[in-house]
Amino acid sequence: MAREAFQTLTEPMYYILLALTGECCGVDIMNKVEELSHGRIRVGPGTLYAMLARFEQHDIIRLTAEDGRRKSYVITDTGIDMLTKEYARLKTMVEDGALYMKDFL
């Protein structure tokens, strides 16, 4: 099931879904992820290819257009729900740690 397989998103997964909050061609996702993460996250093409296939299989994203071999995707409601929960989880972790981390930051 989609929920169990993607309970926690890895960084590349998170940024890919973030990039797909707007319709985006598969090939352009790599650049968008690098842009969103300010160069910190670089997703390999093979990794992206496999991940898009898994996301589509679990209805987290959907195909919106196909022009030859170039496919465009956008996130689905299931994907938004997953992304929102992950964002909330990460935010909670940051807030929980803020009190203890302020002496080190």
Partner 1 sequence: MKKRIIFISFNYRDCDAFAEYLHQQSLLGWHFKEFRLGMVFEQGNPADIHYIVEVFPKGTETDTRPEASTEEYAEYCEAAGWKLIDSSRKFCVFRQTEADAVPIVTPEERFANIRKAEWLLWLGGAVPVFLLSAVYLSQMMTESFSEWIFSAPSLLLFLFLPLLCADRIFGGIYLLFWSVTRKKLIAAGSLPVYGKKKRYPLKAVRSVMLFLVVVAAYTHLYSQRESCLLYLIPLLLILIIRMPLSALISFWRPSRKYNQRFQDAVVWVAIFCSTLITAVWVPGAVTGSEAIPESAEGFPLIQADYRQMNGAVTWTYAEHKENLLGSVSHFYVDYSIESPEHPYLHNDTAYDNLWYTIYQSRFSRILDKLWEDELSVPKDHPVNRTNIWNAVSAVSYTSEHGICTELVRCPDQIWIIHTDKRLNDCQIRSICEKIRTPGNSLYPERTFP
| Helices marked H in the chain | 2-5, 11-19, 26-36, 45-57, 77-101
Q: In angstroms, how far is the first alpha carbon of the chain from the final one?
A: 40
Is 40 among the residues that bind partner 1 (CB under 8 A)?
A: no
Minimum distance of partner 1 from residue 84's CB (angstroms)? 26
Is 97 among the residues that bind partner 1 (CB under 8 A)?
A: no
In DSSP terms, 3 is beta-bridged to none
Q: Token digits for 98?
A: 């803020």
Q: Is the CB of 45 or the CB of 97 nearer to partner 1?
A: 45
Number of residues forming the site for partner 1 (CB under 8 A): 16
Minimum distance of partner 1 from residue 94's CB (angstroms)? 26
Looking up tokens 């195909």 gives 63
**2, 26, 62, 74: which one binds partner 1 (CB under 8 A):** 26
x/- binding map, residues 46-85, to partner 1, per CB under 8 A?
A: xxxxx------------------xxx--------------
